[in-house]
Chain A
Amino acid sequence: MTTFYILVGYLALLMGLGLLSNRFFKGTSADFFVVSRSVGSFLLLMSIFGTTMTGFAIVGSTAKSYTDGVGVYGLMASWSGLMHSAVFFAVGIKLWAVGKRYGYMTQCEYFRDRFESDRLGYVLFPILVLLVIPYLLVGVIAAGKFIQPTTAGLFPEAFPMPNLPNGNPHPLNGGIPPAVGGGVICLIVLFYVFFGGLRGAVWANTFQTIVFMGTGVIAFYMISKNLGGLKAASEAVAASDFGAERLGREGMMSKLQFLSYCFVPLSVGMFPHLFQHWLTAKSAKSFKLTVVAFPLFIMIVWVPCVLIGIWAAGYLGPLDPGQSPNSVLGRMVGQLVHSPVLTGLVGAGVLAAIMSSLDSQFMCLGTMFTNDIVMKKYGADRFTDRQKIWIARGFILFVVGATYLLAIALQDSAHVFDLGVWCFSGFAGLFPLVFASVFWKRVTLPGAYACILSTALAWGYLFYHDILAAKPAGVGDEEMLVFGMMPVAIIIAISTVSLVVVSLLTKKPSEAIIRKFFV
């Protein structure tokens, strides 16, 4: 039960943080939605990092390096370290500046003013919401599915599972079912976002980032120690048939795939929840620490997980049919460390990574609905600050409920996690729009529509062929590549060309708009 008590204690601490952040609440909508634009360097770094890193950063990175080898670090982590900082520096600071100058709280407000079109906001709103929801689903389902094996054996009477066909007890017997675990996670995130607004999310993210970075390092130390030290662990991989090839990249991934992965991290430029976090910054200088520390923080989280993944390839060998690579981290901790305390801490770390993304996403959907739909339709002056906050809370409640029900319905679907990856591609496809809006005076409203439309068409076509269309016999579930590249590279190329060509063919934006948005 030690593992369970650690998880409960961790979740109770988060609720306490929610209540504490509520004590600092100033009662204004600006405070609820963007923390009165008062967040300093450290909290900005921790909240943005926590929001950007999902459960994939711990469990998925270990699993992916177990299957694809050490190249996974270059593919996902070092590209992200370079690109995320570039986006924060080049786009984030500029959006913070216009947000501060003109009082924006959401992306749609900005794009509406930038392109002088209310309709553009109404077009973007459902697209952004539809791209965020699968991302939320992945978080809730992953949390539920992680809690069940972590608590297996603890509650055999409350949550019994039938024996396996061979008569052996079910390995998940007595574990808290995903419907209950996912529900508890939703309620706790709802609790601290509901009471603390974005301040609650920022504080919780900071705490959660410390937890998941710390537990990763502790797990790494304990596992390496029990494998006989760093050298012995890696030498065992080199000596094993299954593990040795994972020390290189040959046969694990193609060169074009490795190169084209650089486009995936551009998605952070269009994440509506990150846009909202950028607006919380007290000053432009608050961004400095985030820009500098991001590659280093990614390294601190990913290097231990990638090494554990390849050590697992040497230590565990090939998995049996039906076993998921996502179980690799849990198995390494369980088989090598035998410590319920560490299992509990790693469990808390994984939940921390998942919840630190969920909170910001729930919060941003509530903010967008209040500001982009309700205020826009009925007028901001019609509501008091208190009413605006309650409208946002009501919508957050609705989104949490809907997400939970969808997660229950789809938890056994094979494609939910693929959907999460496709969301990144969708946001990245829209990156040229935000990039052009801050750097290119010549971009026009029709160019913006062309970018959105071409992204939707290219994304829809590729998504259909990867997820929905019947695949020919012999084609497995491997990652879809187009001309050997990630689909996101094609989507961005198409959306960029559409934006540029249509902008050049249409009337220049007014001088007033250029004066308003360019320094």
Chain B
Amino acid sequence: MSSKVVVVVFFIFAILHHDVWNWNNRSLWLGFLPAGLAYHVAYSLIAGIFWYLVTRYAWPHATEAWAEKGSGE
């Protein structure tokens, strides 16, 4: 996965944060979770999956190798 793909998916994901369709939705999912909260709980879970895929397929190996070459202390 290239960094450009990561940036594009990130911005799409950021747009999906703005769930205006849930603005006045007061229904309860699973009988207890307000819809607007349930959506964002799912959003948090998917964010975790997204970042897992990013660390797996778009890891900055070059930066890591560059740092390890340094003198440090």
Contact = CB atoms under 8 A, between A and B. Distances in A.
Interface of A: 30, 37, 70-71, 73-74, 77-79, 81-82, 85-86, 89, 93-94, 96-98, 100-103, 230-231, 233-235, 238, 244-245, 247-250, 255, 258-259, 262, 283-285, 288, 291-296, 298-299, 303, 306-307, 310, 519
A101 B32 contact: no
A208 B52 CA distance: 25
B19 to A, nearest CB: 7
Interface in B19-46: 19-20, 22-26, 28, 31-34, 36-37, 39-41, 43-45
Contacts, number: 151
A250 B36 CA distance: 11
Contact of B51 (A74, A244, A292): A292
A101 B66 contact: yes
Contact of B40 (A74, A235, A245, A255): A74
Given A101-B69, A310-B34, A77 B40 contact: yes
A248 B24 contact: yes
B47 A81 contact: yes
Nearest to A261: B17
B4 to A, nearest CB: 13
A291 B54 contact: yes
Contacts of B34: 70, 234, 247-248, 310
Contacts of B51: 85, 89, 291-292, 294-295
Contacts of B40: 73-74, 77-78
A235 B30 CA distance: 11
Nearest to A96: B67
Given A101-B70, A103-B71, A285-B64, A295 B44 contact: yes
Binding site secondary structure of chain A: helix
Interface of B: 10, 13-14, 17-20, 22-26, 28, 31-34, 36-37, 39-41, 43-45, 47-48, 51-52, 54-55, 59-60, 62-64, 66-73
A283 B64 contact: yes
A249 B55 CA distance: 34
A299 B33 CA distance: 14
Nearest to B31: A231
A291 B47 CA distance: 10
Q: Which 8 A-B pairs have the closest CB atoms?
A: A101-B70, A97-B67, A230-B32, A295-B47, A284-B64, A247-B26, A250-B24, A299-B44
Contacts of A93: 60, 63-64
A49 to B, nearest CB: 13
Contacts of B22: 248-249
Contact of A284 (B17, B31, B60): B60
B54 A259 contact: no
A299 B41 CA distance: 7
A489 to B, nearest CB: 14
A86 B36 contact: no
A234 B26 CA distance: 11
A291 B25 CA distance: 31
B24 to A, nearest CB: 4
A376 B45 CA distance: 45
B39 to A, nearest CB: 8
Contacts of A310: 34
B9 to A, nearest CB: 11
Nearest to B60: A93
Contacts of A73: 36-37, 40-41
Contacts of B41: 73, 299, 303
B73 to A, nearest CB: 5
Nearest to B23: A249
21 contacts: A73-B36, A73-B41, A74-B19, A74-B40, A74-B43, A77-B40, A78-B40, A78-B47, A93-B64, A98-B67, A101-B72, A233-B32, A238-B26, A247-B26, A247-B36, A248-B22, A250-B23, A293-B48, A303-B37, A519-B63, A519-B66
B32 A231 contact: yes
Contacts of A299: 41, 44-45
- Interface hub of B23, B52, B62 (most chain A Cβ within 10 A): B23
